[in-house]
Amino acid sequence: MAKCSVFNRSRPPRVVYICGHRIKVKVVEKLVDGSTDLLGAYNGETKTIYLLKHPDWCSCLFHELIHAVIGITGVGEGLTLSKEESICIALENSLGPLFF
């Protein structure tokens, strides 16, 4: 499979479109949720993905895009955060190699 243009670049894109929704992508120096350091995060209210400045941004972006799809489509309604994270990790690890 040919490399997807979103991942075939030296830096993350500033915007991606998922299911017709514009998702902003912001690279940050520090990303923390409570006392936990994060590599990435998706904010469904602002439709923004935050990525820690990191050389492996592709897999982090892919993981957060899965969170965005789950949120935008509504299939995550009723899922615990733990279950959603497990689904995202499973999809990232199984489908990610097709893209990068």
Burial class for 65, CB neighbours closer than 10 Å (0-12, 13-18, 19+): buried
- Residue 8, in any domain of the structure: no
pLDDT band at 100 (very low <50, low <70, confident <90, very high): confident
| CATH assignment at residue 43 | 3.30.2010
- Residue 3, in any domain of the structure: no
- Residue 1, in any domain of the structure: no
Structural domain containing residue 28: 15-99
Cross-strand partners of 21? 18
**pLDDT tens for each residue of 5-39:** 788 888 999 999 999 999 999 999 999 988 889 99
**pLDDT tens for each residue of 43-84:** 999 999 999 998 889 999 999 999 999 999 999 999 999 999
Q: What is the mean pLDDT of residues 82-88?
A: 96
Taking the complete model, does pTM exceed 0.85, yes or no?
A: yes
- Residue 2, in any domain of the structure: no
Domain total of the chain? 1
